Structure 1
Amino acid sequence: MTTATAVSPYDALGGAEGLHRLVDRFYELMDELPEAYAARRIHPESLAGANQALFEFLSGWFGGPPLYTEKKGHPRLRMRHLPYAIGPTERDEWMLCMRTTLTEQVADENLRAGLLNAFTQMADHMVNTGDRAGCGHGQAQGQHCETA
């Protein structure tokens, strides 16, 4: 008797090669789209380091080799992004680039919807200024977080 094995998002995207295409396209859009200006301006002039870091993070997050954690330990995404002012505008522009990339590159509707949902939750969690700022657990800015 055989059982179906779930395919990881990493494998479904085509492994390292597919993930590189996805990350490269994401940063191309961020660099090219005027609508992504606020998200782009919080990055350094060269996006090479951000590109590599996102590739390494997504590799492990999507079920491939845990490149990021092998290099830097636990991602601690929110903590690592606190030095950058990320408000609803930056989040929405980041998501515009990611949504466009997923639409262009992920043919499987279920995979695309799942990735979009995961990225939306992650992007919401990164907001640290403006109306949605807080601890990431639903508290508004200035409120004490009981979950941290």
Structure 2
Amino acid sequence: MNDNQSPQPLNLLASLPSETVSPEQIYHLVGEDGLTRLISAFYQQVPQDDILAPMYPEADLAGAERRLRDFLIFRFGGPSHYIEQRGHPRLRMRHALFPIDQSARNRWVSLMEHAIDQAAFPAPVATALRAFFRDVATFLINRA
């Protein structure tokens, strides 16, 4: 398999309790297609959202979607295209210009959890994704 191909999701989920799925296993369980489905479902909601839409310039919405998808593929155990193209994620620095308060954090998490539901991942993967996104979104709060 070359770097451009997504691995086929493994059929291991039926025997895995939710607490055994680490973020590093997610790519190998849902593949690039699963993560692409997730991020697409998230970004379909953004333009209509009164809190998040102003943070995502319409002209760069596709770029934002690609960057998040590539970051998550890397973070969840896939190819490192994000790092090769953009370097270290530096999440707090890259998000410093955006006014992320508790309500923006909560809305982002809400839209992402809705996207997780739409992507229809097995429960162990959905549980791991929810925990990861809640923690990272809280980490990125930069306004009172």
TM-score > 0.5, shorter chain as reference: yes
* C-alpha contact 1:39 1:91 (8 A) present in aligned 2: no
If each structure's helix is expressed as a fraction of its own residues, which one has the higher value?
2
Task: Decide which of 26, 40, 47 is 1:9's aligned counterpart.
Answer: 26
Separation of aligned partners in 2, 1:82 and 1:106:
32
Query: Within the alignment, does 1:64 sit opposite 2:78 as a pair?
Result: yes
Match of 2:128, SS state, is helix
- How far did 1:106 drift? 3.4
Separation of aligned partners in 2, 1:106 and 1:117:
16
Match of 1:19, SS state, is helix
Describe how 1:1-148 pairs up with structure 2 within 5 A: 8-13=25-30, 15-32=31-48, 36-46=49-59, 47-130=61-144
Q: Deviations over 1:96-128 (max 9, x none)?
A: 110001112133112111110010000001110
Count the aligned residue pairs.
122
Consecutive unaligned residues of structure 2, counting only runs of 5 or more, are 1-11, 13-20
TM value normalised by structure 2: 0.78
User: Which segments of structure 1 move beyond 2 Å, counting only runs of 4 or more?
Assistant: none
- How far did 1:38 drift? 0.9
Root-mean-square deviation (CA, aligned residues, Å) is: 1.7
TM value normalised by structure 1: 0.76
Consecutive unaligned residues of structure 1, counting only runs of 5 or more, are 131-148
Separation of aligned partners in 2, 1:99 and 1:93:
10
Q: Deviations over 1:24-57 (max 9, x none)?
A: 111001223xxx3212211111311100100110
